[in-house]
């Protein structure tokens, strides 16, 4: 192979690896979001459960265990918090990976992609300034 062919092959490999990272991260976000939705359904089922029993059956791996409702709800809510944190971390990392992919392909950086919403304090400050 000549030098130009090697350069093209290295370029294509780098672009493919960057694209694969983006797709993998997106799939991880989707998978975690599915799990988060299942947890949300479980919390709602626990809220709407009208049975007299204070215990529910919870699936751990391949077995069911009777567990108190309060502890079960607490475990699911902790899992929700962890999933929210992981999804947010993956989304932050995804922005950098997409920018790296665009840079590798020679495309310009996405405009407005790194925007973040105003905090509650910032919103209150703007509203107070606008009311004057």
Specify whether the CB–CB gap between 60 and 72 falls below 8 A: no
Percent of the chain with pLDDT over 70: 97
63 confidence band (pLDDT: 50, 70, 90):
very high
Cα–Cα distance measured from residue 2 to residue 66, given in angstroms and rounded to the nearest whole number? 67
- What residue segments make up the domains of the chain, in order of their start? 3-109
Whole-number Cα distances in Å, 39 to 29, 46, 54, 69, 86: 15, 11, 19, 14, 15
List pLDDT tens digits, range 71-126.
999 999 999 999 999 999 999 899 889 988 988 888 887 776 667 788 899 999 99
Please tell us whether the domain made up of 3-109 is placed in CATH 1.10.10.10.
Answer: no
The torsion angles phi and psi of 57, rounded to 5 degrees, stand at: -90, 130
């Amino acid at each position: 192979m000549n030098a130009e062919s090697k350069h093209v092959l290295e370029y294509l490999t780098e672009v493919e690896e960057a694209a694969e990272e983006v797709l993998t991260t997106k799939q991880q976000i989707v998978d975690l979001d599915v799990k988060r939705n299942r947890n949300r359904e479980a919390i709602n089922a626990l809220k709407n459960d009208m049975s007299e029993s204070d215990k529910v059956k919870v699936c751990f791996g391949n077995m069911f265990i009777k567990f108190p409702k309060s502890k079960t709800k607490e475990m699911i809510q902790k899992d929700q918090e962890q999933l929210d944190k992981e999804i947010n971390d993956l989304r932050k990392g995804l922005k950098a990976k997409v920018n790296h992919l665009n840079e590798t392909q020679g495309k310009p950086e996405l405009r407005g992609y790194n925007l973040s919403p105003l905090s509650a304090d910032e919103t209150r400050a703007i509203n107070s300034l606008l009311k004057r």
